[in-house]
Each structure stands twice: as structure tokens, then as C-alpha cells.
Structure 1
Amino acid sequence: MVPFRKCMALAALAVSGAASAEVYCSDPIADWQPREQLQREVERRGWTVQRIKIDDGCYELRAIDRKGNKIKARFAPASLRIRTLAVEFDPAGDASDYLPDLAPPGPRRQRLGPNSHGEIK
């Protein structure tokens, strides 16, 4: 089971790395939300923000989630919609917060991350 998780994490990072190289945000600067708003939004989800910077017109965020997994994400600065997400799982990491279909049977947990429109709510 451990090799499967490592392969899934590696595949997710490879795909997200390739995708992030092609992601550009083109929101007009006048429409941008402040970085502090993005920080408040992700902290409500239990992420601890390490840094927020601007790259290719997107907000790039590095954080640690509530389970200790490392997160790198890009957000459209006007809407704060997530554009890319890469998660480096802890050795005992659980992807069920990010991939609900992999959640173990039992009571449903609160889903973390963007809704169907890419917004973190």
C-alpha cells in the first residue's frame, strides 16, 4: 500500500509541475484581492501559510495543511480561485482530503479545498 501512495503522490506532483509551467493569470491588477484575503481564506481551511508571492501573474502560496503535508498552490488574484495545487504528503499522509474518492468508508469528513468553481469557501 505504501508504494501505491508514493506513486500517486509522485504522479500528482509530476502532473501538477507540468501544468503549473503553463498556468498564467491575466487578471487586471485593479481587480486583485489583497494577499491578506487569500491568507484568511486558506487559514480557515486549516492551512498554515509560509509565504505568498506573485509569479506569472498568479498568487503562489506555500503552506502546511492541518495534517502536516506541504502545499504549493497558485490562485487567480482577482477571484482567489485555485489554478494549480501540489501536495507533498507526509510519509503517513492521507490523500482523502484532496481526493474524496479515496476516503476510507465511514462518516464523511468535511471536504477541504476548492468547490466546483475553484473557490475556497
Structure 2
Amino acid sequence: MFLARTCMALSALVFSNAVHADVHCTDPIADWKPREQLQREAEQRGWTVQRIKIDDGCYELRAIDRNGNKVKAKYSPASLRMRSLAVDFGNNGDASDYLGPVPQAPVRRPVGPTFQGEKK
């Protein structure tokens, strides 16, 4: 009985850790782009790259942005698409560099027959 409860508790821990696991990349190594390309792209954003390493099959980049904030990002090595981003904003941190433009809702116009009282 004790052994069964212990096994159940251990399996619950294993599965709960799997749910909370970090980002993993599964790109074939033959398709990976060079780290130097990722570094150039980060520098074009205004980041000063401190290091690029491999973690869980992803490129993990650590840098300082143009405002002095610490950046940690994971990228898919084949596409260099960002998979995760963490920014440690300093005391005067500003997230405006990381917020994109607010998308505008498309204007919808009726299609098909006109409504009663509406001119064509």
C-alpha cells in the first residue's frame, strides 16, 4: 500500500513538472542557422548580446537592451523565431519597446442585398 502511494506521488510530480517545463525546440541540427545571424538580428534591435547558448534545443540569448534592461529570449534555431522572452526592467524600466502597435479593427460593411431604406 505504501509503495503504491509513493509511486502515485512520484508520477504526479513528474507529470506536473512536464506541464511547467520550459520551452523546447525540436529543429533538426542540419537546419539550424548560425548564432552570428541571431546576434546580428538582436543588435539590429538595439540589444548588446552578452551570450548565446543552447538550452533545451533552442538558442538562448542574454542581452542588455538600449534602455539597460536585462533580456533573456529563446529562439527556434532553424527559423530564428522567438519562442519566449523575459525582460528584467530596471527601476526606470519601460515596456514600450516591447509592445507592438495596437491593431485596428477592420471596418465591416454589409455585403449582399441592401437594407430597407438604404440607397444603392
Q: Secondary structure at the match of 2:41?
A: helix
Residue-by-residue CA offset, 1:93-115 (whole Å, 9 max, x unaligned): 1011112479xxxxxxxxxxxxx
Q: Which amino acid aligns with 1:66?
A: R
Q: Which structure has the larger Rg?
A: 2
Runs of 4 or more, structure 1, over 2 Å off, are: 19-22, 99-102
Task: Report the Cα distance in structure 2 between the residues aligned to 1:44 and 1:32, rounded to whole angstroms.
Answer: 20
Q: Which amino acid in structure 2 is aligned with residue 61 of structure 1?
A: L
CA, structure 1 residues 65+95, in 2 after alignment: closer, same or farther (shift >3 Å)?
same
Map of 1:1-121 to 2, 5 A cutoff? 21-100=21-100
TM (normalized to structure 2)?
A: 0.65
Separation in 1, partners of 2:82, 2:20:
12
Q: Once the two structures are aligned, what percentage of the paired residues are identical?
A: 74
TM-score (norm 1): 0.65
Mark the CA change 1:20 to 1:100 in structure 2 (over 3 Å): closer, same or farther: farther
Aligned-residue RMSD, C-alpha: 2.0
